[in-house]
Amino acid sequence: MTSIFRCLMIIYASLITSTVRADSIDFSGYIGADLSYFPNTGLYPGQLGDLQYSLVLAPEINWQSDSGNTQINVLAFGRIDSSDTKRQHIDLREGYLRHEFDDFTALIGVNKVFWGVAESRRLVDIINQVDQLEYTDNDARLGQPMLTISTDQDWGALSGFLMTGFRKLEFAGTKGRLRLPYPVSDSAVFSHTSREKAKDYALRYYNSFGDFDLGLSTFNGTSREAVLKPVGGNSFQPNYSRITQTGLDLQYTGDSTLLKLEAITRSGDDFKRFEAMVAGLEYTIYQVADTDADLGFIAEYNYDNRGTNTPQTIFQKDAFVGGRWVANDSEDTSAVLGMLIDLDDGTRSFQGEFNRRLANGLSLKMQFRALGYSNATNAQDAFRRDDFLAISLKHFF
């Protein structure tokens, strides 16, 4: 446990036992049940059968001072899985103390930070580690211990980050689906000082210029991606490089059109500098067919020229096309469909998601992913028998 987290818990405990009134604390969160159906037998020995179910609990505690300048927030996440013990995990997503001073805001503790505008890929988003065990949620991130100083001025918003306690990637176990051919070792190799001592640094500038929203960021620290190197012929070992990444995210908002761009350049200890980008648009027809619903069309192009000794990616030269339907009803009904096409080898994958609130505090999410065709040289080919349909029920409290 990091010193930042220990400090946070001491502050939190002292507030609870002394100055914090019971009615100033807000308790919320959700409990959920997930069911995943895999129509195909697993590609690798020992993988679970066609059904996987699990229970989720995500409690949240929030306290705010009477002035509103000081806030404490704690958000935990835990999952119990029926088959894959590696997927059973508990994580502190948020656990921070935040205070607003006259000219700046300071935050210390565990937090989640999101950057980016694209639909098909999270390219500039680098502060938090991806929670790969949550395969039904592309946006799931592990909590990151950090100290953040931010200011919002007429010339824009500027945020600085000091991070410690690097979070390694987690991988499915031998019984899990959407896993690699061999187990991934819990022991990682770093190209720099030990992960407990290494610090990460980041800076981000954000501002709006008329119809344009601009974000500029730089990051220096341990890569959130790993190169998986074979060990002994029957396992992989993650290798993490020290990297420097500069990022740009830009969005134009018109009456019916969103134009989006994310771009990065990255260099590392173990590889040459490379560039990557995702650019596209989303066009929306409002009140389609004289209803309250909106229908949007999405198109994006992905490019990534990374070379050898870098983490694998499926976005070297790919196109994404999709649609978004929003009912604008009292149940917050919505659906998204998309297809990713590799323009070099023809690999095609499909995904879809449906969301609806069923009753007060109860929501339904349905999701599918399927690989229509995969080239044997494509990274997605390792998951060619892992098409799935997932149903999730959440009760918010």
Q: What is the pLDDT of residues 346-382, one digit of tens each?
A: 999 999 999 999 988 999 999 999 999 999 999 999 9
Q: Determine contact, residues 295/325, Cβ cutoff 8 Å.
A: yes
Query: What span, in angstroms and rounded, lies between the C-alpha atoms of 308 and 236?
Result: 17
**What digits encode the pLDDT tens for the residues 141-158?**
999 999 999 999 999 999
Stretch 132-143: mean pLDDT:
92
**What is the distance, to the nearest Å, from the Cα of residue 193 to the centroid of all Cα atoms in its chain?**
26
- Quick one: tokens of 282? 């989303």
In sequence order, the 6+-apart residues with CB closer than 8 A to the CB of 309 are 227, 270, 271
Task: Identify the pLDDT of residue 193.
Answer: 63
Least confident among 18-32, 266-280, 306-320? 18-32
Distances (CA, A) of 312 to 26, 53, 200, 255: 42, 29, 22, 38
Query: What span, in angstroms and rounded, lies between the C-alpha atoms of 368 and 35?
Result: 12
Task: Identify the pLDDT of residue 48.
Answer: 86
Query: What span, in angstroms and rounded, lies between the C-alpha atoms of 149 and 387?
Result: 43
Query: What span, in angstroms and rounded, lies between the C-alpha atoms of 304 and 278?
Result: 9
**What digits encode the pLDDT tens for the residues 196-223?**
678 999 999 999 999 999 999 999 999 9
Task: Identify the pLDDT of residue 83.
Answer: 87
Query: What span, in angstroms and rounded, lies between the C-alpha atoms of 368 and 121?
Result: 17
Q: Determine contact, residues 208/157, Cβ cutoff 8 Å.
A: no
**What digits encode the pLDDT tens for the residues 284-324?**
999 999 999 999 999 999 999 999 889 999 999 999 999 99
Backbone phi, psi, residue 289, to 5° = 55, 40
**What digits encode the pLDDT tens for the residues 74-131?**
999 999 999 899 999 999 999 999 999 999 999 999 999 999 999 999 999 999 999 9
Q: Which secondary-structure segment (H or E) carries 248?
A: strand 242-253
Task: Identify the pLDDT of residue 283.
Answer: 98
Query: What span, in angstroms and rounded, lies between the C-alpha atoms of 125 and 138?
Result: 12
Q: Determine contact, residues 241/228, Cβ cutoff 8 Å.
A: no
Task: Identify the pLDDT of residue 196.
Answer: 60
Query: What span, in angstroms and rounded, lies between the C-alpha atoms of 129 and 110?
Result: 12
Higher-confidence residue: 192 or 53?
Answer: 53
Q: Determine contact, residues 200/150, Cβ cutoff 8 Å.
A: no
Residue 267: count other Cβ atoms within 10 Å of its Cβ.
14
Q: Determine contact, residues 375/342, Cβ cutoff 8 Å.
A: yes
Range 3-396 classified under CATH 2.40.160.10: yes
Residue 215: count other Cβ atoms within 10 Å of its Cβ.
20
pLDDT at 20 over 60: no
Going from N- to C-terminal start, the domains of the chain cover 3-396
pLDDT at 22 over 70: no
Higher-confidence residue: 275 or 135?
Answer: 275
Classified as helix, coil or strand, 60 is strand
String of DSSP letters for 349-373? EEEEEEEEEEETTEEEEEEEEEEEE
Residue percentage of the chain with pLDDT more than 90 = 84
Average pLDDT, the chain: 92
Query: What span, in angstroms and rounded, lies between the C-alpha atoms of 390 and 189?
Result: 34
Task: Identify the pLDDT of residue 98.
Answer: 98
Beta pairing partners, 321: 299, 339
- Quick one: tokens of 262? 């994310």
Q: Determine contact, residues 353/367, Cβ cutoff 8 Å.
A: yes
Task: Identify the pLDDT of residue 169.
Answer: 94
Beta pairing partners, 200: 163
**What digits encode the pLDDT tens for the residues 226-268?**
999 999 878 999 999 999 999 999 999 999 999 999 999 999 9
Q: Determine contact, residues 324/282, Cβ cutoff 8 Å.
A: yes
What is the side-by-side order of every strand in the sheet holding 189-190? 189-190, 235-240, 227-231
String of DSSP letters for 321-347? EEEEEE--STT--EEEEEEEEETTT--
Stretch 31-36: mean pLDDT:
97
Task: Identify the pLDDT of residue 308.
Answer: 85
